Structure 1
């Protein structure tokens, strides 16, 4: 069976590669990537954990020819074997040729068998052009090659390079719609904000949507979940099924995967791991923790949305102090939602009351959008739409690059309608202290969480 294959790398690793591979002398250069190899359903996902730069002086380097020094192959094998990592031989094509040459084929036939002789894992090779374009293939133990279908470069910008896809796509154009067909996007949470994000992504032309939510439609949320009906509420139809059915009414070319489950389950985590981008539209801190961990382990960019209406009290009567929407863009190797205190150990413990003290938890849950005031069916669709719109445009800005400033200036956006202010935070405004599992992929236990157990 031919599997779909992904190769993911952070912008920092790619920048290191490009500086080393293109020193300015017009000659080929080399490096070795150590990647975790993750087999999930019908997909193989290679996640770059480390890069070994091969010194220029250790190779015979020409404009269109390169030799691989055995010393560095052995060093890579020593580093990779203990963790069963896949090794990828990476070299530059200064001529800008974005395909493997006959010399490349001959080189792989000599070097790749030596790696397989050391340990059995999938290994391969990758070409990098001066423009940063990537082409790659991997081999099985029979030295049968298969090309990598998608390269995902994750950082301040998001670059998805699918085989034979076009580059330099104009934002908001028909070409952008065509380019988005290559994306598999996961949306966790299909309620007020999530349904609007899903509607945007579907109508923009995303090729594969994964919808994850374990809840059903109720009468109380008909005023803010798009495409929901009275009949859906009476039948307690699942939110993801309602939204998928609606999309099928206007898209015949979309692949839809729906999971009527929480994100903190093995099936949902594995499905999210196969996406290219994740949108977090959840209303619990534990769900945000799981999304955070999925992004870190599987090298995925995350857009997380939160809306709230804090209240005060005067003369025994509540009043609104502010109307807020928050958008965070999270990179797997930089500050996390935990680092930014979107969730904390204290908030996770408080939420744990759901299991130990349900009465107390229910009181907290009922506060919902209005902090301090119970509202069964708040009229917040306009706020949800505002937050969702900012989120989708942020995704487009990082994928199709229309901003006049660097995207690093927009790690967080906070919109305060009461004060009529919008505040932006840079990535440098946050400190990353919790990233210890970048690119590890499938672990035992999954995501390092004992409750998720081992992987079968």
Structure 2
């Protein structure tokens, strides 16, 4: 049975490991990675959570059957830790070379001697070994159902890149439709986009723009999630809608039952988004999910995506988005636009748009650490409409805030450009992916310095945090009630 197995690691953790393995002495060095896991029909992803560096001469010593080996004590300590934390155990060492690497015969023999026992110690693992060259990695992964080779490793940072055991064949020439694209980032860049699976939460003003642009960029697979329908007042902000979608001849009717019928017959936003995407790229794979991201069954559809956009404005959606980014090492961006209006004077205040990249490591833009998921707002959203009215959490709750598609464009275009630059490596090394606020009336831009909290339960190295734990940690979602 063939099973695609990959590894994801965040950029700071990879740099820590790489500097240890390749300090410039040309010798062999060792380490252990403790990893979470996610299993889906696309395959198995191992998610690097911690790296334990083996000290030369103490934890990594001359071997009896090979050049060097991790000591029995070091292996016992780290495999025991992985078993206790319900994580996967991966032994690491390096070889010489640059762009190609493989295990030696001694390496493979040692795996066969030790890994069946490690599978028992770690309660089914997976367990395995990785061997690195400077620009390559190979893996021998043991699971309860068999032994598999690592397909690739993804490094998640401002430049999202992959390492393979050997150089990949040159991609085929891109479709002529993308001729102007490949003049910028080549056939390799276009191939990268065609193999990506991208999630979009919220297909309103900002999300519908992102949806069309990703489709035209050549992204191969989109998972779109929204529970709302098209209506007359959101038509000006949703790309691709028509009067027919809004059922205007019914919803404008003075007859109540006809108006209600019109609202029930209007299509869901995700179905309009699918139509727009298919018009832009007929070969795209598109999952139009009518659902709420706070429901666990819906959220689980996103655990193996390659990038995530949040274009919904609730605190609960931010909570789940932030958890997905950190728990499954999925880079993402949250967007939004705000047009505040003073309740007394009715004057428009400081109009601003936000583009907030979130990468899965401390100081990566965590929404919790930036205090963008206030507990009071989460509690407010958890109440029923009647409870909110009784407690007066929201004044004038039936009055919608102003919203204009041009403002959605300002936040969405930076988000899609970030996405494009991150996967093609076009950002200069000094570029920082800070949260960015644009104030429309002043024509000013503010970059927010990254923040991190050592006790954060999403992004930190705290033992209780969800970072990189994958399927072996609960998401902050609603679980469907079942009658026993």
For normalisation by structure 1, the TM-score amounts to 0.86
**Aligned equivalent of 1:120:** 124
**Aligned equivalent of 1:374:** none
- Given candidates 359, 368, 385, the residue that maps to 1:331 is 359
Note if 1:357 corresponds to 2:387.
Answer: yes
Q: Equivalences for 1:237-386 in 2 at 5 Å?
A: 237-312=267-342, 318-334=346-362, 335-357=365-387, 359=389, 366-370=398-402, 378=403, 380-386=404-410
Note if 1:222 corresponds to 2:250.
Answer: no
Q: Is the CA contact 1:138–1:146 (under 8 Å) kept in the aligned structure 2?
A: yes
**Aligned equivalent of 2:174:** none
**Aligned equivalent of 1:185:** 198
What is the rounded CA distance, in whole Å, between the counterparts of 1:285 and 1:387 in structure 2?
18
**Aligned equivalent of 1:420:** 443
What is the rounded CA distance, in whole Å, between the counterparts of 2:120 and 2:238 in structure 1?
56
**Aligned equivalent of 1:155:** 157
**Aligned equivalent of 2:415:** 391
Q: What secondary structure sits across from 2:236 in the alignment?
A: coil
Q: CA deviation at 1:69?
A: 2.6
CA distance 1:425–1:149, change in 2 (3 Å): same
Q: Is the CA contact 1:171–1:401 (under 8 Å) kept in the aligned structure 2?
A: no
Stretches of structure 1 that go unaligned for 5 or more consecutive residues are 371-377
CA distance 1:5–1:189, change in 2 (3 Å): farther
**Aligned equivalent of 1:411:** 434
CA distance 1:214–1:3, change in 2 (3 Å): farther
**Aligned equivalent of 2:137:** 134
CA distance 1:401–1:245, change in 2 (3 Å): same
Q: CA deviation at 1:23?
A: 2.3
Q: CA deviation at 1:278?
A: 0.9
Q: Is the CA contact 2:5–2:43 (under 8 Å) kept in the aligned structure 1?
A: yes
Stretches of structure 2 that go unaligned for 5 or more consecutive residues are 171-181, 248-264, 459-464
Q: Equivalences for 1:36-47 in 2 at 5 Å?
A: 36-47=36-47
Q: CA deviation at 1:310?
A: 1.7
Q: What secondary structure sits across from 1:318 in the alignment?
A: coil
CA distance 1:401–1:291, change in 2 (3 Å): same
For normalisation by structure 2, the TM-score amounts to 0.82
Q: CA deviation at 1:170?
A: 8.5
Deviations 1:203-249 (A, max 9, x none): 11112211111111112211111112222223321111221122223
Alignment root-mean-square deviation, CA: 2.9
CA distance 1:363–1:227, change in 2 (3 Å): farther
What is the rounded CA distance, in whole Å, between the counterparts of 2:401 and 2:384 in structure 1?
18
Q: Equivalences for 1:192-231 in 2 at 5 Å?
A: 192-231=205-244
Q: CA deviation at 1:439?
A: 1.2
Deviations 1:90-115 (A, max 9, x none): 22122125232343433322332231
CA distance 1:228–1:181, change in 2 (3 Å): same
What is the rounded CA distance, in whole Å, between the counterparts of 2:437 and 2:78 in structure 1?
44
Q: Which has the larger radius of gyration?
A: 2
What is the rounded CA distance, in whole Å, between the counterparts of 2:72 and 2:481 in structure 1?
40
How many residues end up aligned between the 2 structures? 437
Q: Is the CA contact 2:215–2:280 (under 8 Å) kept in the aligned structure 1?
A: no
Q: CA deviation at 1:33?
A: 1.0
Deviates more, 1:182-191 or 1:66-75: 66-75
Q: Equivalences for 1:18-33 in 2 at 5 Å?
A: 18-33=18-33
Q: What secondary structure sits across from 2:350 in the alignment?
A: coil
Deviations 1:125-152 (A, max 9, x none): 2222223x4333422346x432334433
Q: Is the CA contact 1:28–1:61 (under 8 Å) kept in the aligned structure 2?
A: no
Q: CA deviation at 1:453?
A: 8.4
**Aligned equivalent of 2:251:** none
What is the rounded CA distance, in whole Å, between the counterparts of 2:5 and 2:437 in structure 1?
37
